[in-house]
Structure 1
Amino acid sequence: MHVLASRIRRLAPSCGPVRLVGVDGHAGSGKSTFALRLAEALDGAPVLRLDDIASHTELFDWTGRLLSQVIEPLGRGETAHYSPYDWRTRRFGPPRPLPPAPVIVVEGVGVGRRALRPYLALLLWMDLPREESWSRGRARDGAEQREFWEGWVRAEREHFAGDPSRPFAGLLVRQRPEGYELLPGPAGAAESPPPVTQGDGSPALW
């Protein structure tokens, strides 16, 4: 993980002084856990969760809010202020500051959408098939979220059908029993750092 972190630090800033690193993938694919581990390797880099930006009525129609509250202020080198959504009370909370940092990790389904890709220094895709991801997510959230998941699956299918993220990922992340494996993404070497490998040239596991 520290090898990947070192290479991210060497990327050019993508949003004002900030290197925005997107972690995308299907719901339930392990984005949050991976993003936190990557942030730790980046000396405690801030993590912005798209669950704080989306809402029940705007599962994917949140681009304008993210741009105005986060992307545009950071692009000017200013502290962003976003209002996190509370999924239990169904209300947006008080503004939360997000100061510029060398790297900010943004994790959530759809962070690799076309409207945001120009602001990303690197897009990572959690490479777990959607049915397996959704099965994990349903098991995690329990029966009380069954109705929500039915609506979510329809919305996610529709979003990725019209605005896919995986084809633009610089690196693919695959979870293994012993850690994670990094592979070159479909976007190719021109949009990503060299693949992280072990000494024998095989993909790294950590």
Structure 2
Amino acid sequence: MPSRSDDPVAAALRQAAALIAQDIRGLAAANPMVVIDGGSGAGKTSLAELLARNWPLVGRVQVIALDSLYPGWDGLESGVERAVDGILRPHGRGLLGSWRRWDWEQNTEAESHAVDPSLGVIVEGSGILRPPTADLADVRIWVEAGEESRKARALARDGDTYRPHWERWAAQERQHLLQHHPRELATRIVTVP
């Protein structure tokens, strides 16, 4: 079995995190806003976690996964709207933001979480990079990966929970690509095998 250091996906994400850290250090901001978009299974969450572990600025960073905001399997657009209204806009104005976690099992909103405007924030999830968020985010990442490899990783991660919803979710992602052209809005494109 190959070691983690031989894993081409892990290597691509480590290299990307190092480059994004350089981008962040180059900003004149103590509390940058980073958005990470890409299709399901592309590596967004892993990249966000790597970047958070190696955050290049003093202080901690807040990491928010849109998987916690999407209101169900048909909620890509609604989840992004919730992130824009509760997280990105307030943070961009230096105001305290907040968001409510979506409880997938109960199919309802759950507890609230505050977003400190004095700290950096990483928001990762399918659909997050679009013109309104591009205007608010300091660093905009598009994670590019082929559909076959993304699907294999996503289903390996979430298995039978996700399998019946893959096409339903993929259709929303395709609509996002056609409508918002996120790749063109990115300040950095990350290619994952």
Normalised by the shorter chain, which TM-score bucket?
0.7 to 0.9
Query: Equivalent residue of 1:104, what SS?
Result: strand
* Distance in 1 separating the partners of 2:145 and 2:153: 10
Q: Does 1:26 align with 2:39?
A: yes
The answer (yes or no) to whether the contact 1:112–1:165 under 8 Å persists in 2 is yes
When you count helix as a share of all residues, which structure comes out higher?
A: 2
* Distance in 2 separating the partners of 1:39 and 1:162: 30
What are the residue-to-residue correspondences of 1:1-206 with 2, within 5 Å?
Answer: 1-2=17-18, 4-13=20-29, 18-42=31-55, 44-56=60-72, 57-175=74-192
* Distance in 2 separating the partners of 1:130 and 1:115: 26
- Corresponding residue pairs, total: 173
Per-residue deviation, residues 58-96 of structure 1 (Å, max 9, x unmatched): 222334322321123223322211101112221111211
Shift of 1:6: 4.2
Query: Equivalent residue of 1:161, what SS?
Result: helix
Residues 129 and 175 (structure 1), Cα distance of their counterparts in 2 relative to 1, 3 Å cut = closer
Per chain length, whose mean CA-contact separation is higher, i.e. which structure has more relative contact order (CA < 8 Å, sep 6+)? 2
* Distance in 1 separating the partners of 2:91 and 2:128: 16
* Distance in 1 separating the partners of 2:172 and 2:157: 19
The answer (yes or no) to whether the contact 2:66–2:79 under 8 Å persists in 1 is no
| Structure 2 gap segments, 5+ residues each | 1-16
Shift of 1:141: 1.5
Alignment-mate amino acid for residue 110 of structure 1: G
Greater shift, 141-150 or 25-34, is seen at: 141-150
TM-score by length of 1: 0.74
Per-residue deviation, residues 103-161 of structure 1 (Å, max 9, x unmatched): 21111111111221100111112121233212321232212432221211122112212
Query: Equivalent residue of 2:36, what SS?
Result: strand
| Structure 1 gap segments, 5+ residues each | 177-206
Query: Equivalent residue of 2:105, what SS?
Result: coil
Query: Equivalent residue of 2:175, what SS?
Result: helix
The answer (yes or no) to whether the contact 2:80–2:127 under 8 Å persists in 1 is no
Query: Equivalent residue of 1:95, what SS?
Result: strand
* Distance in 1 separating the partners of 2:175 and 2:22: 36
* Distance in 2 separating the partners of 1:123 and 1:9: 14
Greater shift, 60-69 or 114-123, is seen at: 60-69
TM-score by length of 2: 0.79
The answer (yes or no) to whether the contact 2:90–2:96 under 8 Å persists in 1 is yes
RMSD, aligned α-carbons: 2.1
